Amino acid sequence: MIWIDTHCHLDAPEFASDRSQERERARALGVACCVIPAVAQRTWADAKQDAHRFGDAYALGIHPLYTPESQANDLQLLDTMLSANHSDTRLVAVGEIGLDYFVDLDPVWQERVLHEQLVLAKTQQLPVILHVRKSVDRVLKYLRQTHFAHGGIAHAFNGSMQQAHAFLDMGFKLGFGGAMTYERARQLRQLATTLPCDAIVMETDAPDIPPHWLYVDAEARAQGQRQGRNSPAELPRIAAHIAELRGVEIEAWAAQTTRNALAALPKLAHILPEAQVQAEATS
């Protein structure tokens, strides 16, 4: 039984002291591959380096929350970086890219950055890993405007069923992680339960979006208790929650979500051991 963490910021500073240990802990629990999406020009080299170091995958892009520090030249550098690494089997997508209307960002600039990155992904024939916080309809608009047809993943999806099917109709998979482990996340849990089995990929977004067993509320934090750090090692337990909600065996869910990840990010097939891919494809 293997798992793919389709969204894990293993290169983040939060893992500086124990990055190797956390990756090995996840591997021991069956996490065969992590996809490490870069968030800014200054993180591209680290994402690539860690993917090669740990036998994982990476994506290159400019995250909407990092658009305030980005410049037009960064888009040119991204074009150069994608071209230079096009033959790298561990480069599986352009990402993390998208829009974020939850925080106060320049909408014109972040939309320009998204549009140009979609064009780059289209040119390179790579899927995209999308950030869609409070921005699903706007992101869908840009996908349609650019006639984007290479699919990918709508990360941390939390939209409506109608929006979910809009992404699915365009060849995307939907990323689900720790947020759906909270009982109060009723809409998200309903989506995780009722979406088609081939619609969902598993992710942690580590070190962010901790599952409920790692969450520390504001009162406890005020008293000095530290927030739990998410990790790719939490993926099997998160996945078990969805499997239970859907009423399926955990082995079957592991096989299904692995197939889904391979469909969303086809170059992953070059990374996973051939025997494991074959086993998941036929189980």
Summarize the annotated binding site for a divalent metal cation as residue ranges: 7, 9, 96, 131, 155, 205
The structure tokens 């099997």 sit at: 236
Instruction: Give the torsion through C-alpha atoms of 5, 186, 172, 153, to 10 deg.
Output: -30
Determine the Cα–Cα distance for residues 76 and 83; give it in Å rounded to an integer.
11
Secondary structure of residue 82 in the 3-state scheme: helix
Secondary structure of residue 86 in the 3-state scheme: coil
Query: Which one-letter amino acid corresponds to residue 229?
Result: R
Write out the binding residues.
7, 9, 96, 131, 155, 205
Closest C-alpha among 171, 106, 100 to residue 139: 100
| Beta-strand relationship, 3-5 and 31-37 | parallel
Determine the Cα–Cα distance for residues 178 and 70; give it in Å rounded to an integer.
29
